[in-house]
A and B are shown apart, each in its own frame.
Chain A
Amino acid sequence: MHPEMIERMTRALDKELPGEDTRLLQTHLLECATCAGEWAALLAVHQQLSNARMLSPTPGFANRVMNRIAARGQKRAQRQSLVGVFAFLVGSVAVFALTVYLSPLGELWQTGGWVELVNEVIVWLAFLSALTRVANTLGLALLERSGEGALLLMAFVAFGLTFLWARLVSGSAFASRQLKT
Chain B
Amino acid sequence: MKPAERGEPNPGVVERARHGDQSAFSQLVGLYQAPVYNLAYRMLGTAVEAEDAAQETFLRAYSQIKSFKAEYKFSSWLLSIASHYCIDRLRRNKFRWLSLDAETMVETLRSDKPDPEETALRNERSGEAQKLLQALPPAYRVVVTLRYWNEMSVEEIAQVTHDSVSNVKVKLFRARQMMAQAYVRETQMQLRPALVEGLGDAS
B55 and A39 contact, CB distance less than 8 A: no
Query: Digit string of A40-81 for contact with B (CB within 8 Å is 1, else 0)?
Result: 111111101111111111100110111011001000000000
Chain B CB within 10 Å, residue with most, of A12, A25, A46, A54: A54
**Contact partners of A56 in chain B: CB under 8 A:** 33-34, 37-38
With an 8 A cutoff between CB atoms, is B179 at the interface? yes
B176 and A44 contact, CB distance less than 8 A: no
Of B38, B187, B202, which contacts A46 at CB under 8 A? B202
B203 and A55 contact, CB distance less than 8 A: no
Q: Chain A: how many interface residues by the 8 Å CB criterion?
A: 44
Q: Chain B: how many interface residues by the 8 Å CB criterion?
A: 55
The DSSP consensus for interface residues of chain B is helix
Question: Which stretch from A29-37, A85-93, A152-160 is at the chain B interface?
Answer: A29-37
B199 and A53 contact, CB distance less than 8 A: no
Q: How far is the CB of A56 from chain B (nearest CB, A)?
A: 4
Of B1, B176, B190, which contacts A10 at CB under 8 A? B176
With an 8 A cutoff between CB atoms, is B129 at the interface? yes
Q: How far is the CB of A114 from chain B (nearest CB, A)?
A: 53
Chain A CB within 10 Å, residue with most, of B38, B116, B128, B203: B203
B191 and A33 contact, CB distance less than 8 A: yes
**Contact partners of A69 in chain B: CB under 8 A:** 22, 25, 58-59, 62
A54 and B38 contact, CB distance less than 8 A: yes
With an 8 A cutoff between CB atoms, is B108 at the interface? no
A66 and B191 contact, CB distance less than 8 A: no
Q: How far is the CA of A46 from the CA of B195 in the complex (A)?
A: 14
With an 8 A cutoff between CB atoms, is B3 at the interface? no
With an 8 A cutoff between CB atoms, is A13 at the interface? yes
Question: Which stretch from B72-80, B85-93, B117-125 is at the chain A interface?
Answer: B117-125
Of A17, A41, A53, which contacts B203 at CB under 8 A? A17
With an 8 A cutoff between CB atoms, is B149 at the interface? yes
The DSSP consensus for interface residues of chain A is helix
Chain B CB within 10 Å, residue with most, of A26, A48, A64, A66: A48
With an 8 A cutoff between CB atoms, is A15 at the interface? yes
Known: A55-B37, A61-B33, A62-B33. A49 touches B58 (CB 8 A): no
Q: How far is the CA of A13 from the CA of B200 in the complex (A)?
A: 10
Q: How far is the CA of A56 from the CA of B33 in the complex (A)?
A: 7
Of B54, B120, B189, which contacts A53 at CB under 8 A? B120
A43 and B26 contact, CB distance less than 8 A: no
Known: A49-B148, A54-B34, A61-B33. A68 touches B55 (CB 8 A): yes
Known: A48-B128, A56-B33, A66-B29. 11 other contacts (CB 8 A): A10-B176, A12-B202, A22-B199, A36-B195, A43-B201, A49-B129, A54-B34, A55-B121, A61-B29, A62-B26, A69-B22
B interface residues with partner A (beta carbon < 8 Å): 1, 22, 25-26, 29-30, 33-35, 37-38, 41-42, 50-51, 54-55, 58-59, 62, 116-117, 120-121, 124-125, 128-130, 132, 144, 148-149, 172-173, 176-177, 179-181, 183-184, 187, 189-193, 195-196, 198-199, 201-203
**Nearest 8 pairs of A and B residues by beta carbon:** A37-B191, A41-B180, A40-B195, A52-B129, A49-B148, A29-B196, A62-B29, A57-B37
